[in-house]
Amino acid sequence: MTMSGATASRGQLSAGRFALFTAICLLAAMLLEDALALGPARPDFVLVALVYGAIRWGAAGGAATGFGLGLFRDALALSPLGVHALGMTLLGYGLGKLRETLYLSAPLVDLALVAGAKLVLDVIVLVGASGGAWGRFEMRFFWESPADAAYTAVLGGLLMRLFRR
Amino acid sequence: MPLFRRELRSEAVAGGLVLASLILLALPDARQTALTRTVHHALLLPFAETRARFAGYVGLRQENERLRAEVQRARLELSAEAAYRAETEVLRRMLGFAPDQPVRLLPARVVGRDFDTLPTTFLIDVGRRSGVIENLPVVTQDGLVGKTLDVGEDASLVMLYTHPEFSSSALLVGGDHLEYGVVRPTPEGELHLFLPLRSSSGPGDRIVTSGYGGSFPRGIPLGKVADVREDRRLGLQRIDVVEPEVRLGEVTAAFVLLRGTVPGGSAGDVPRLFWPGFAYPPMSGEELGRSPLSAPDSAGADTLEAGEGAP
């Protein structure tokens, strides 16, 4: 399947709609993430924007989007500047590559990509942030990250579904 | 070839951005913090008010839920406490009542009851192992509840005064006179005192067990006369409607009177039990707590001999 074929079959959003989708994701990241926390699970709307952006724009676009959104996340979370930028750049690039090589048209694949991306991002950020403190990494990655990933995938999928209507 | 160039381009872009991220990460901490804070404020300050409102709303909602849960829990605790207080009051009264009695009172807890329209039996948690046998009186500090019907090792079935087969020889204390009769329940759940036609009784007169009949010692309160009727079918009897002293629905604990009765004998010679407010005046020719020489018509009316002594 060529890229254009895959893109066409996905019923991709128009540029305007996608910009609105991204803007809503960023607003939700600023305003709603705390409110939508469900027990240990917290959604990551910045990551949702990154995954769909990388799928839309490919490896280079995904890397650029990832860097920008990563800086945004770093500023938002007051984490060391560059941690999320690094992780999201790598993720954006990887997702863009995947989109160029795989047939990605099913909504469930999108959900799996969002969940998988969240886990990978957590690994990168946690390794950077924990600085070798394995106990902290273990607690966060094995107990909180899976819940975060599943919850983010569900909310991201629902949001995208709303925009695809 | 163009595909190769494009791949190179995307990798170059990604590599450059990774490098930029690493440079940012390598910045001195103070610089990094200052940069992060600057971007953070620039991004979030315009939304600060909206964010605070959201957070406040969410906080209020959570607070509301928490308070509701607390109110619910407090209500439950309050109702449980009221139940405990009532039970404690009952047990306290029982505790004060038992030492005054000349017989041994075995405390028992009601562990089961039938749920018919009219309760007729209770299950209590004492049995043969505690010395309980059949036909022992079961009382509370208010008066008679019934008597033991079936006795197991650690539990006994109690025949209540509402049981269709219950009957007790009774003594009406009318102020200046005593009347002997039999108390029995009706199928409708009323408790009736059957007296000879020429007896005199009035509302408020107290009724205690007479001690004749073999099951109940003399002086256990049964109730008060609530209404006076005549047997219209035969016109031979006076029937008093009895307002029982013990409300069966409220009984959670009771005593079994362990003073055994000799089969076929009378329980009337048990020293008079003491129920406050139920002392009855002495009567010429009859000593309190003793069987009179000649048994009245109602002798043997306790459930054991109900078939023979019933009016």
* A112 touching chain B per CB within 8 A: no
Say if CB A120 and CB A51 are below 8 A apart.
no
Q: How far is CA B281 from the centre of its chain?
A: 34
- Give the residue with greater pLDDT, A130 vs A127: A127
Among the candidates B32, B64, B98, a domain finishes at: B98
pLDDT at B11 over 70: yes
Q: What digits encode the pLDDT tens for the residues A136-159?
A: 667 777 778 888 899 999 998 888
φ and ψ at B97, to 5 degrees?
-85, -40
Say if CB B239 and CB B207 are below 8 A apart.
no
Residues 120-159 of chain A whose Cβ lies under 8 A from any Cβ of chain B: 128
Tally of domains in chain B: 2
- Give the residue with greater pLDDT, B274 vs A43: A43
Question: Which of A81, A90, A121 is the best residue to mutate to test the B interface, defined by the most B CB atoms within 10 Å of its own CB?
Answer: A81
Same domain, B77 and B137: no
3-state SS of chain B: helix, strand, coil percent to 5?
35, 25, 40
The answer to whether the CB atoms of B23 and A90 lie below 8 A apart is no
- Nearest partner of A120 among A99, A139, A101, A148, judged by Cα: A148
Is residue B240 a part of any domain in this protein? yes
Helices A45-77 & A145-164 angle (0-180, nearest 10): 120
Same domain, B93 and B111: no
| pLDDT for the residue B273 | 59
- Give the residue with greater pLDDT, B301 vs B34: B34
φ and ψ at A105, to 5 degrees?
-130, -10
- Give the residue with greater pLDDT, B59 vs B130: B130
Helices A107-130 & A83-101 angle (0-180, nearest 10): 150
The answer to whether the CB atoms of A60 and B13 lie below 8 A apart is yes
The answer to whether the CB atoms of B24 and A82 lie below 8 A apart is yes
pLDDT at B76 over 50: yes
What is the value of pTM for the model shown?
Answer: 0.46
Say if CB A31 and CB B44 are below 8 A apart.
no
Q: Of the ranges A38-47, B136-145, B211-220, B283-292, which one carries the lowest mean pLDDT score?
A: B283-292
Report the C-alpha gap between B258 and B270 in whole angstroms.
11
CA distances (Å), origin B289, targets A80, A83, B266: 95, 97, 12
Question: Which of A32, A50, A76, A89 is the best residue to mutate to test the B interface, defined by the most B CB atoms within 10 Å of its own CB?
Answer: A89
Question: Which of B9, B18, B27, B53 is the best residue to mutate to test the A interface, defined by the most A CB atoms within 10 Å of its own CB?
Answer: B18
Same domain, B295 and B254: yes
Is residue B146 a part of any domain in this protein? yes
Among the candidates B63, B82, B98, a domain finishes at: B98
Q: What digits encode the pLDDT tens for the residues A48-74?
A: 999 989 988 888 899 999 999 998 888
Same domain, B156 and B247: yes
Q: What digits encode the pLDDT tens for the residues B112-121?
A: 877 666 678 8
pLDDT at B48 over 50: yes
Assigned CATH class of A3-164 = mainly alpha
Reduce the DSSP state of residue B61 to 3 states and report it: helix
Same domain, B162 and B204: yes
Over residues B251-268, mean pLDDT: 67
Report the C-alpha gap between A115 and A71 in whole angstroms.
21
pLDDT at B47 over 80: no
Is residue B13 a part of any domain in this protein? no
The answer to whether the CB atoms of A76 and B55 lie below 8 A apart is no
Average pLDDT of chain B? 76
Same domain, B183 and B280: yes
The alpha carbon of residue A51 is apart from the nearest alpha carbon of chain B, in Å, by 15
Identify the bridge partners of residue B185 per DSSP, sorted by sequence position: B191
Same domain, B91 and B124: no
Report the C-alpha gap between A84 and A67 in whole angstroms.
8
Q: Quick one: closest CA in A to B29, which residue?
A: A80
Alpha helices (runs of H) in chain B, residue ranges in sequence order: 2-26, 29-44, 48-97, 306-309
Residues 6+ apart with CB under 8 A from B170: B180, B181, B182, B183, B193, B207, B208, B209, B210, B222, B298, B301
Which CATH number fits the domain that encloses residue B278? 2.40.10.350
Over residues B78-97, mean pLDDT: 79
- Provide the domain limits for residue B82: 47-98
The alpha carbon of residue A136 is apart from the nearest alpha carbon of chain B, in Å, by 21
Q: For chain B, which residues lie within 8 Å of any Cβ of chain A, measuring from their own Cβ?
A: 6-7, 9-11, 13-14, 17-18, 20-27, 32, 35-37, 39-40, 42-44, 47, 50-51, 54-55, 57-58
The answer to whether the CB atoms of A67 and B21 lie below 8 A apart is yes
- Give the residue with greater pLDDT, A140 vs B159: B159
Say if CB A67 and CB B17 are below 8 A apart.
yes
Same domain, B72 and B121: no
Q: What is the ipTM of this complex?
A: 0.80
Say if CB B229 and CB B195 are below 8 A apart.
no
Say if CB B161 and CB B170 are below 8 A apart.
no
The answer to whether the CB atoms of A59 and B36 lie below 8 A apart is no
Q: Number of A to B CB contacts under 8 A, please give it.
A: 95
The answer to whether the CB atoms of B24 and A64 lie below 8 A apart is no
The answer to whether the CB atoms of B40 and A58 lie below 8 A apart is no
Residues 6+ apart with CB under 8 A from B97: B105, B141
Q: What digits encode the pLDDT tens for the residues B177-222?
A: 778 889 999 887 788 888 887 777 788 888 888 877 778 888 888 9
Same domain, B63 and B180: no
Reduce the DSSP state of residue A75 to 3 states and report it: helix
